[in-house]
């Protein structure tokens, strides 16, 4: 399992994407669409937490873990105000994209590009969890990941 502490600042979104990509690849995820879906779901959840979930905190946690030979699980843990993940309705079709994005479309997107999406609110934290099944050609890498909590620095 690899873990990353992210700041509640949208400037961290690229670092989060790098963390997900690096660790998903180390866990055998090499299909571009699978990587895209994982990064998209994490980006959407992270953006929501950054916008709405501060609640006096300035960081949140992202965990990525290989579960068996063909499944990656991601957990995003924050300490913000809970929301009703299961009863989010999609916005009206006549709204502009900008308006749709303001009205819960992101949660529907997370559910659409991942599997087993769940959200649990505890008194001291919230956990969004989802899985992604790797394709037949993926999944041969180790169960490990980058556990140092930081994405690998790129050479300049």
Q: Sort 98 into a burial class: Cβ within 10 Å, 0-12 / 13-18 / 19+.
A: exposed
Q: Quick check: is 153 in a domain?
A: no
User: Which two structure tokens, joined as six digits, stand for 50?
Assistant: 């950054």
Residue spans of alpha helices (H) in 27-128:
32-52, 97-101, 105-113
Instruction: Work out how many domains the chain is built from and give that number.
Output: 1
The pTM (predicted TM-score) of the whole model is 0.81
With H, G, I as helix, E, B as strand and everything else as coil, classify residue 141.
Answer: coil
Residue 151 lies in a domain: no
Residue 141's pLDDT is 53
Within-domain flag for 46: yes
- Position 153 scores a pLDDT of 39
The 3-state DSSP class for residue 101 equals helix
The pLDDT tens digits of the residues spanning 45-64 come to 999 899 887 777 899 999 99
């Amino acid at each position: 399992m690899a873990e990353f502490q992210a700041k509640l600042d949208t400037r961290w979104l690229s670092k989060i994407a790098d963390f997900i990509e690096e660790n998903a690849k180390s866990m055998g995820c090499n299909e571009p669409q699978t990587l895209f879906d994982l990064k998209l779901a994490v980006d959407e959840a992270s953006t929501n937490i950054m916008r709405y979930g501060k609640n006096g905190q300035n960081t949140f946690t992202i965990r990525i873990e290989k579960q068996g030979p063909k499944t990656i699980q991601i957990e995003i843990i924050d300490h913000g105000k809970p929301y009703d993940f299961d009863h989010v309705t999609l916005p009206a079709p006549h709204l502009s994209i900008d308006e749709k994005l303001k009205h819960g479309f992101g949660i529907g997107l997370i559910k659409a590009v991942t599997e087993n999406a769940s959200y649990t609110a505890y008194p001291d934290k919230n956990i969004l969890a989802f899985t992604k099944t790797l394709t037949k050609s993926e999944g041969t890498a180790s169960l490990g990941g980058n556990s140092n909590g930081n994405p690998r620095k790129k050479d300049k």
